[in-house]
Chains A and B, each alone.
Chain A
Amino acid sequence: MTAILTNLFDGVAYGMLLFVLACGLAVTLGLMNFVNLAHGAFAMAGGYVCMVLVNRMGWPFFAALPLAFVSSAAIGIALERTLYRHLYTRSHLDQVLFTIGLTFMSVAAVDYIQGSSRVFINLPAALQGQFDVFGVGIGRYRLMIIVICGLLTIGLQMVLAKTRFGSRLRAAVDDPRAASGLGINVPQVFAFTFAFGCGLAGLGGALSAEILGLDPYFPLKFMIYFLIVVTVGGSSSITGPFLASLLLGIGDVAGKYYVPKMGPFVIYTMMIVILIWRPNGLFGRTAAR
């Protein structure tokens, strides 16, 4: 029983992490209809920035996290303004080719700068080890992830639902032409959202170094996971991807624990079945965009 609960806890932490990593993609792919296969590269950038700050320059871990966010967001906005912007209206094939190219470049560049082996971030002592709650082993680090990601999720939902920027974004997504007719600066809204999504991915990358493992092949290895979150979760709200990440996280951890030999088999089968059953995602809207 306790093993099940521990697994559930780990699964939730994993799922939360996936959500933070992938929710930027939910916006670009789901809302802006741009196939960004290079999303993992932004996450990797954040992870490596955090690693360099903590390990090489001796920054405290919690001070390095915001910087991981900021640097990924900065890279994101720079690329958005210079490159991505031109590709919003192009075919999906072009977008796929372009972002695969970016991914390859990022993999080779990080390999060149930091070497190809897996890196670890030195965690403060307070985050290491685990404690027992009624016999259920709770990892401190995973608990921290759940707290941070939970707060972020609530914050995102509030921003989207309650603020002026949130309603602008929703308007721009629903109908860009009408939105710009109402005086909303659609490209600016998109650029800001894109950068924010990249920043979140960077934060997720920094947090995930301990759990998912950080090496130059990160963008390729986890690309499929991000895509699953978005396509399964649909794009009509932030709750869809959130639930999909939790499902994926719990399913993956449980799958690895109970049927280790089946490997990632379960996940892929699940994804294909869901996509066939509901091509717009489990929680997506039914109308074709």
Chain B
Amino acid sequence: MTASSDVGFHAQRQARWHYGEAAFWLVVLACGFLFPTRYLIMTDILRLALFTMSLDLILGYAGIVSLGHAAFFGVGAYAAGLLALHGIINEPVLALIVAGLAAMVLGFATSFLVIRGVDLTRLMVTLGIALLLEALAERFSNITGGTDGLQGIEMQPIFGEIPFDMFGKAGFFYSLAVLFVLFLLARRVVHSPFGLSLRAIKNNPLRAAAIGIPVNRRLIAIYTLAAFYAGIAGALFTQATAIASLDVFAFERSADLMLVLVIGGTGYLYGGLIGAVVFRMLQELFSTITPQYWQFWIGLVLVVIVLVGRQRLHRWVLYVPNLIIKQVAGRKAVVAVPESEA
């Protein structure tokens, strides 16, 4: 067996669907039926998961550290809000796609700024873009509603058939469907040759360029795609809550997002989903203990995660499940710790 076919074999085997993955999605779907009183928070988790998946695409696969990913979330949120408020596009799914495209255009435009320079410049530029948009949204308050936000948004039924109900049931299954479709797309993308080339770029841009990967064009492409995802997440936020306010651009949103992704782990797509669940549960727990100061504990979690080391933490978490899997399915089936050094 030659080396290249060996690589192809492994890539293909990784790309195949595992039982675990199917089980994961079944559990998510089952949650929708098991906890009918918790639709609002579960919708929130799904949205956060989608947003985190977007960051995972650029951070986990392409190695771009962004401190301003909320920019795209915000653009999507405002786009969806404005479309619905002025009755331009009443159908939610169509509005969702248009809002995603709006964020995508911004992502494409700013990607040229982001791919220049090293980590530090990227941090600054992404942060600057998010702050710039926040300032803009505040400045043009006649369009965005300023600090009050967009109010009085009324969502039309999905496909003209399924209305949003006050318990959020329709919202939940709508979000779940969107998340699943986008997940399938992301999964396809990261396991394609394109996705593999992104990993090569992340590990060593210079070497990737030397073997003929057009580094900048790949980075622009994935950044634009991630912006689309973030825009969709933002639009879902507006559609489910019927408000869009300035805090969609806030720095805390971008920072929390990083925490979510780090909790879940980067570079295997499920990190965002798992991280979102854990993060929201932590947040709930902390706010019941200290309603006003939960941010302290969130900060502490971040510090501890970094000090312990992300790799080591994920090994600990996977230790028991792997032990069980080893007993049942043999050594080969263990869940490996994904490479997450960004």
A: residues with CB less than 8 A from B are 29, 35, 83, 86-87, 90-94, 96-98, 100-109, 111-112, 220, 223-224, 227-228, 231, 261-265, 268-269, 271-272, 275-276, 279, 288
Using A96-B67, A231-B124 as known contacts, say yes or no to A101 and B59 having CB atoms under 8 A apart.
no
Chain B count of residues within 8 A CB distance of the other chain: 45
Using A272-B132, A279-B117 as known contacts, say yes or no to A100 and B258 having CB atoms under 8 A apart.
yes
B302 in contact with A98 (CB, 8 Å)? yes
Q: Which residue of B lies closest to A266 (CB)?
A: B135
Report Cα–Cα, A93/B307, bound state, in Å.
13
A279 in contact with B296 (CB, 8 Å)? no
Using A263-B135, A263-B138, A275-B125 as known contacts, say yes or no to A101 and B120 having CB atoms under 8 A apart.
no
Is residue B139 within 8 Å, beta carbon to beta carbon, of the partner chain?
yes
Report Cα–Cα, A287/B259, bound state, in Å.
33
**Given A93-B59, A97-B259, A108-B294, 11 further pairs, Cβ under 8 A:** A92-B120, A94-B306, A100-B255, A101-B301, A104-B298, A105-B296, A111-B292, A265-B135, A268-B128, A275-B113, A275-B117
Q: Which of A97, A101, A269 contacts B300 (CB 8 A)?
A: A101
B: residues with CB less than 8 A from A are 59, 65, 67, 113, 116-121, 123-125, 127-129, 131-132, 135-136, 138-139, 251-252, 255, 258-259, 262, 292-296, 298-303, 305-307, 310, 341-342
Report Cα–Cα, A288/B303, bound state, in Å.
29
Report Cα–Cα, A112/B290, bound state, in Å.
10
SS class, residues of chain B in contact with chain A:
helix
B258 in contact with A96 (CB, 8 Å)? yes
Q: Which of A112, A262, A272 contacts B139 (CB 8 A)?
A: A262
Q: Which of A29, A91, A224, A261 contacts B128 (CB 8 A)?
A: A224
B123 in contact with A92 (CB, 8 Å)? yes
Q: Which residue of A lies closest to B251 (CB)?
A: A220
A275 to chain B, nearest CB (A): 6
Q: Which of B132, B295, B301, B342 contacts A91 (CB 8 A)?
A: B342
B123 in contact with A263 (CB, 8 Å)? no
The 3 A-B residue pairs with the shortest CB-CB distance in the complex, in nearest-first order: A101-B302, A104-B299, A108-B296
Q: Which B residues are CB-close (under 8 A) to A269?
A: 132
Q: Which B residues are CB-close (under 8 A) to A86?
A: 307
A104 in contact with B302 (CB, 8 Å)? yes
Report Cα–Cα, A29/B123, bound state, in Å.
13
B295 in contact with A107 (CB, 8 Å)? yes
Using A98-B306, A263-B139, A271-B124 as known contacts, say yes or no to A92 and B119 having CB atoms under 8 A apart.
yes
Q: Which residue of A lies closest to B299 (CB)?
A: A104
B124 in contact with A96 (CB, 8 Å)? no
B131 in contact with A224 (CB, 8 Å)? yes
B149 to chain A, nearest CB (A): 17
Q: Which of A97, A262, A276 contacts B116 (CB 8 A)?
A: A276
Report Cα–Cα, A104/B117, bound state, in Å.
28
Q: Which A residues are CB-close (under 8 A) to B113?
A: 272, 275-276
A71 to chain B, nearest CB (A): 20
Using A98-B307, A105-B296, A105-B300 as known contacts, say yes or no to A279 and B341 having CB atoms under 8 A apart.
no
Q: Which of A96, A104, A223 contacts B65 (CB 8 A)?
A: A96
A108 in contact with B295 (CB, 8 Å)? yes
Q: Which residue of A lies closest to B292 (CB)?
A: A111
Q: Which of B65, B125, B139 contacts A92 (CB 8 A)?
A: B65
Using A87-B306, A105-B303, A276-B116 as known contacts, say yes or no to A93 and B65 having CB atoms under 8 A apart.
yes
Q: Which B residues are CB-close (under 8 A) to A91?
A: 341-342
The listed residue with most A CB atoms (<10 A of its CB), out of B139, B303, B306, is B306
Report Cα–Cα, A202/B121, bound state, in Å.
26
B96 to chain A, nearest CB (A): 29
B136 in contact with A265 (CB, 8 Å)? yes
Q: Which B residues are CB-close (under 8 A) to A87?
A: 306
A227 in contact with B127 (CB, 8 Å)? yes
Q: Which residue of A lies closest to B133 (CB)?
A: A268
Q: Which A residues are CB-close (under 8 A) to B294?
A: 108
Using A105-B296, A108-B293, A263-B139 as known contacts, say yes or no to A83 and B307 having CB atoms under 8 A apart.
yes
Q: Which residue of B lies closest to A111 (CB)?
A: B293
B267 to chain A, nearest CB (A): 12
Using A83-B307, A100-B255, A101-B300 as known contacts, say yes or no to A268 and B131 having CB atoms under 8 A apart.
yes
B133 to chain A, nearest CB (A): 9
Q: Which A residues are CB-close (under 8 A) to B307?
A: 83, 86, 98
What are 17 of the A-B contact pairs (CB < 8 Å)?
Answer: A86-B307, A91-B341, A94-B306, A97-B258, A98-B306, A101-B306, A103-B299, A104-B255, A105-B296, A105-B303, A107-B295, A108-B294, A265-B136, A268-B135, A272-B113, A275-B117, A276-B116
A148 to chain B, nearest CB (A): 29
Report Cα–Cα, A77/B310, bound state, in Å.
25
B296 in contact with A112 (CB, 8 Å)? yes
B123 in contact with A96 (CB, 8 Å)? yes
Q: Which residue of A lies closest to B301 (CB)?
A: A101
Q: Which of B120, B259, B295 contacts A231 (CB 8 A)?
A: B120
Report Cα–Cα, A107/B293, bound state, in Å.
9
The listed residue with most B CB atoms (<10 A of its CB), out of A96, A100, A105, A228, is A100
The listed residue with most B CB atoms (<10 A of its CB), out of A101, A223, A268, A269, is A101
B303 in contact with A102 (CB, 8 Å)? yes
Q: Which A residues are CB-close (under 8 A) to B118?
A: 279, 288
The listed residue with most B CB atoms (<10 A of its CB), out of A83, A108, A264, is A108
Report Cα–Cα, A223/B299, bound state, in Å.
16
B303 in contact with A35 (CB, 8 Å)? no
Report Cα–Cα, A96/B292, bound state, in Å.
24
